[in-house]
Amino acid sequence: RRFIKSYATIAEPLIALTRHSDLKSFQWSEACQNSFETLRQRLIEAPIISYPRFDQPFILQLDASDVGLSAILAQKLIDQDGKAREHVIGYASR
């Protein structure tokens, strides 16, 4: 969850399978398969997460939809090539 951008949105078809599971049958759909494959791919990719620099300002980006919400904590830092780029500190989603 913390290291996968838009986790809640990606995982929604899988989460929906367990909602009120005693009231409906378990049906694996194409959306569930796509969700599973996307999450699996994101888990095996190396996350690019930076350590926070407490002497620099933080950037908080928020997004919400009917399905979930997500947040990204980042900082704009100078790279080795001298360019200022946004570096992700962490992801949150629900």
In three-state form (DSSP H/G/I as H, E/B as E, the rest C), the secondary structure along the chain is CCCCCCHHHHHHHHHHHHCCCCCCCCCCCHHHHHHHHHHHHHHHCCCCCCCCCCCCCCEEEEEECCCCEEEEEEEEEECCCCCEEEEEEEEEEC
The pTM of this model reads: 0.56
- Span 6-14, average pLDDT: 88
Residue 79 has pLDDT above 90, yes or no: no
pLDDT confidence bin for 24, thresholds 50/70/90: low
